[in-house]
């Protein structure tokens, strides 16, 4: 499983779209707007975590189903379970570059002292997004999954108030992750509401993945 | 064994046994049921009736223990990965029975190590898939239409590499010439049934097969 995870991490790091849209874009936004305060840094860390989480793992699954690479893997000794765990672990790991860069820039430009906590919270909180991405990757084939995930990404960003200012839906996982991120930067404890909501999303997405993945 | 896609019967009571060391061609036109047979032998599909035994175990167990290698007709390669990364992964999954360098040499991929899989030509990609299939020194090798993307010279090279291994090989092809030249035995599949099974000389000499074989003789480039 570790070898497979490493393989998928390297593969993602070679992906141009991942590097531009899921690492570089939040970094550039942080450089432009980060001076406005810690809330922006938290929002950009959530952008990086949500985007890379949703798209970084799941879209490749859909692609591999379409090209036949998944079928080829299934006739190697890699078990279905090791494959699934490998993809989920890769999804969380490839959230790190964007989140880390945004947080470090925040630390340098606006003296966000508790940036390591922001990294820890947003990387851990990316798990439900990774699972939603994996679910979409096993549900849709090829490019359709990427399009669906990009739509989910922007919808969740707006609903959760990560971009656009107002929070439209307080139960959006993006909102909970933002609340948690801003909270740790301001030295407040993470509220139970945000944790429970993220846990609920994680469980729901995990159930969806487990019900669906064997048919992929 | 038998298999259907919905109401369409893909295989009807296909039965055969392959002894160790033999190279067997599953010969048939497109849609005859060759790929379905290979999928059943690899445990990707389960037969509706009948049983499949591969290397004295279930197909799933043979695959899980890395005793088989397979090059699938519809097997693609991952985008964004390099040839070397793909082969490293394959060597690891098969428990390092071969080094990556050995596999690269075997498949003739030395000049392509650092190339990304999605930039390879059809023939080069085919070699990478062959490398993945050979990474575990398989006791039994499955090749589904292995030389479709290859020119004449590359086809010869490919078969030389396969034959040097000396393992049991089951390959699906719609080229009569390829089956004749490289197989010890040909199983002719037509519309999901085995219509003939024997050494190439016998198959080619069988007048009753003329109709089925005439569809397959135009295929050699």
CATH number at residue B169: 3.40.50.300
**Of A185, A197, A16, the residue nearest A102 (C-alpha):** A185
CA distance A130 to chain B (A): 20
Interchain pair B72, A68: CB under 8 A = yes
**Pair A83, A73: CB distance under 8 Å:** yes
Whether B37 shows a pLDDT value over 80: the answer reads yes
Q: Final residue of a domain: which of B88, B122, B137? A: B137
Split into its structural domains, chain B has a count of 2
pLDDT of res. B166: 85
Instruction: Using a CB–CB cutoff of 8 Å, tell me whether A14 touches chain B.
Output: yes
Contact A67 B77 (CB under 8 A): yes
Of A66, A75, A77, the CB nearest to B44: A75
Quick check: B96 contacting A, CB < 8 Å?
A: no
Nearest of B49, B40, B38, B28 to residue B194 by alpha carbon: B28
Name every chain A residue with its beta carbon within 8 A of the beta carbon of B95: 77
- The token pair that represents A201 in the structure block: 């999303």
CA–CA separation, B37 and B61 (whole Å): 17
Please check whether residues B21 and B91 belong to one and the same domain.
no
- Residue A4's pLDDT is what? 97
**B139 at interface of A, judged by CB pairs closer than 8 A:** no
Chain A nearest C-alpha distance from B74 (Å): 6
Q: Which two tokens stand for residue A107?
A: 């630390």
pLDDT, greater one: B76 or B214: B76
Instruction: Enumerate the residues of chain B whose CB falls inside 8 A of the CB of residue A63.
Output: 79
Percent over 90 (pLDDT), chain B: 79
Q: Is B115 on the interface with A (CB under 8 A)?
A: no
For residue range B144-171, what is the model confidence (pLDDT) as tens digits?
Answer: 999 987 888 889 999 999 999 889 999 9
Query: Angle at the Cα of B145 (from B142 to B149), degrees rounded to 5?
Result: 130
Query: Structure tokens of A67?
Result: 């090209």
Kindly indicate the confidence band of residue B221, based on its pLDDT and cuts at 50, 70 and 90: very low
| C-alpha B163, offset from chain centre | 13
Q: Is the pLDDT of residue B73 over 90?
A: no
Count of structural domains within chain A? 1
Residues of B in contact with A79 (CB under 8 A): 64
From A67, A71, A77, residue closest to B94, measured CB to CB: A77
Whether residue B178 is predicted with pLDDT greater than 60 in this model: the reply is: yes
The nearest alpha carbon in chain B to A16 belongs to B80
- End-to-end Cα, chain B, rounded Å: 33
Size of interface A-B (CB pairs under 8 A): 81
Give CA–CA dist A165/A185, Å, rounded.
Answer: 19
CA atoms within 13 A on the CB side of A9: 16
Residue in B with minimal Cα distance to A80: B64
DSSP strand pairing (B3-5 vs B8-11): antiparallel
Contacts by A63-66, CB closer than 8 A, 24 or more apart = A63/A142, A63/A143, A63/A145, A63/A146, A63/B79, A64/B76, A64/B78, A65/A137, A65/A138, A65/A141, A65/A142, A65/A216, A66/A141, A66/A142, A66/B76
How far apart are the C-alpha atoms of A156 and A36, rounded to whole Å?
A: 23
Beta carbons of B93 and A77 less than 8 Å apart? yes
- Residue B82: its chain A contacts at CB < 8 A? 14
Most A-contacting residue of B63, B80, B134 (CB-CB within 10 A), to test interface: B80
Residues of B in contact with A3 (CB under 8 A): 88-89, 92-93
Q: What is the pLDDT of residue B58?
A: 97
Tell me how many degrees the CA angle A207-A212-B2 measures, rounded to the nearest 5. Answer: 145
> Helices A2-13 and A38-67, interaxial angle, to 10°?
110
Cβ–Cβ < 8 Å for A99, A119: yes
**Do residues B88 and B190 both lie within one domain?**
no
- Establish if B52 touches chain A: CB-CB under 8 angstroms: no
Domain extent, residue A171, equals 2-215
Contacts of B129 in chain A (CB under 8 A): 72
Rounded to the nearest integer, the mean pLDDT of chain A is: 95
- The list of chain A residues with pLDDT below 70 reads 216
Q: Is the predicted pLDDT of residue B99 greater than 70, yes or no?
A: yes
Q: Taking CB atoms and an 8 Å limit, are A78 and B68 in contact across chains?
A: no
Q: For residue B218, give its domain range.
A: 1-67+140-221
Q: Decide: residue A30, CB within 10 A, 0-12 exposed, 13-18 middle, 19+ buried.
A: buried
Give the minimum alpha-carbon distance from A137 to chain B in angstroms, rounded to a whole number: 15
ipTM of the complex in this document: 0.93
> Does B74 sit within 8 Å of A12, measured CB to CB?
no
- The answer to whether residue B77 neighbours chain A at the CB level (below 8 Å) is yes
Task: For residue B190, give the 3-state DSSP assignment.
Answer: strand
Confidence class of residue B219 from pLDDT cuts 50, 70 and 90?
Answer: very low
């Amino acid at each position: 499983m570790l070898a497979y995870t490493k393989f998928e991490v390297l593969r993602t790091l070679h992906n141009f779209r991942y590097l531009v849209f899921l690492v570089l874009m939040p970094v550039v936004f942080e450089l432009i707007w980060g001076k406005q305060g810690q809330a922006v840094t938290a929002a950009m860390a959530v952008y990086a975590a949500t985007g890379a989480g949703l798209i970084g793992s799941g879209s490749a699954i859909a692609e591999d189903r379409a090209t036949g690479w998944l079928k080829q893997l299934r006739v190697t000794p890699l078990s279905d379970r090791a494959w699934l765990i490998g993809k989920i672990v890769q999804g969380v790991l490839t959230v790190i570059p964007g989140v880390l860069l945004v947080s470090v820039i925040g630390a340098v430009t606006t003296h966000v002292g508790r940036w390591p906590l922001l990294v820890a919270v947003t990387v851990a909180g990316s798990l439900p997004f990774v699972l939603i991405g994996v679910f979409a990757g096993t549900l849709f084939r090829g490019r359709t999954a990427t399009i669906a995930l990009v739509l989910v990404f922007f919808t969740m960003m707006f609903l959760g108030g990560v971009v656009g200012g107002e929070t439209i839906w307080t139960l959006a996982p993006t909102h909970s992750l933002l609340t948690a991120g801003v909270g740790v930067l301001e030295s407040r404890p993470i509220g139970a509401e945000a944790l429970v909501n993220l846990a609920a999303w994680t469980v729901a997405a995990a159930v969806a993945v487990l019900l669906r993945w064997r048919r992929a | 064994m038998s298999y259907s896609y919905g109401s369409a019967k893909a295989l009807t009571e296909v039965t055969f046994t392959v002894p160790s060391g033999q190279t067997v061609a599953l010969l048939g036109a497109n849609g005859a049921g060759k790929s379905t047979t290979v999928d059943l032998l690899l445990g990707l599909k389960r037969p509706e009736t009948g049983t499949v035994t591969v290397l004295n175990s279930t197909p799933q167990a043979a695959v899980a223990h890395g005793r088989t290698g397979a090059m699938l007709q519809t097997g693609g390669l991952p985008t964004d990965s390099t040839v070397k990364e793909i082969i490293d992964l394959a060597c690891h999954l098969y428990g390092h029975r071969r080094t990556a360098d050995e596999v690269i040499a075997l498949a003739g991929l030395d000049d392509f190590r650092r190339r990304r899989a999605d930039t390879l030509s059809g023939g080069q990609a085919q070699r990478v898939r062959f490398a993945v299939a050979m990474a575990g020194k398989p006791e039994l090798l499955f090749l589904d239409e292995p030389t479709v993307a290859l020119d004449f010279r590359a086809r010869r090279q490919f078969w030389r590499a396969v034959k040097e291994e000396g393992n049991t090989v089951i390959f699906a092809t719609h080229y009569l010439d390829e089956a004749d030249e490289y197989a010890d035995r040909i199983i002719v599949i037509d519309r999901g049934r085995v219509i003939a099974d024997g050494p190439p000389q016998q198959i080619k000499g069988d007048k009753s097969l003329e109709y089925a074989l005439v569809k397959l003789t135009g295929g050699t480039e």
